[in-house]
Structure 1
């Protein structure tokens, strides 16, 4: 993926917070900001939903056996 340089101006408190949070996560400020923008744009949430849907599709037979296919949308006794 090609990278584009983006220059932004923020107050010193915001810059310091970004540095501290990036350091705490073991990443560069650039990477930290990039991840924040992706999260805000919904990319992370979209990826999670896709992964969850794939998981459910893979294991739908296991869930049907455990909880019963005719009980879709209900919670079985003992699992509430």
Structure 2
């Protein structure tokens, strides 16, 4: 993800995509780093990565719920009173 990607985000769907991309990159980089972990540390590292993945999925679900609520609130206002 780049600064340009972030600056181009304008609507809720853009931000949801950015968050998903950030999660995917985090998992990818973490798994890549894990290839250098060996021996006894590997099991602990894998368990930590698994917990990280689960927490990110939970955050994604939570964020989706909050975005839906925000959209509903914004859409409930008359169009000419909302400036985004």
TM-score (normalised: structure 2): 0.34
Q: Give the structure with the larger helix fraction.
A: 2
TM-score (normalised: structure 1): 0.36
- Tell me: higher relative CO, structure 1 or 2? Use CA pairs within 8 A at least 6 residues apart: 2
Pick the structure with greater CA Rg: 1
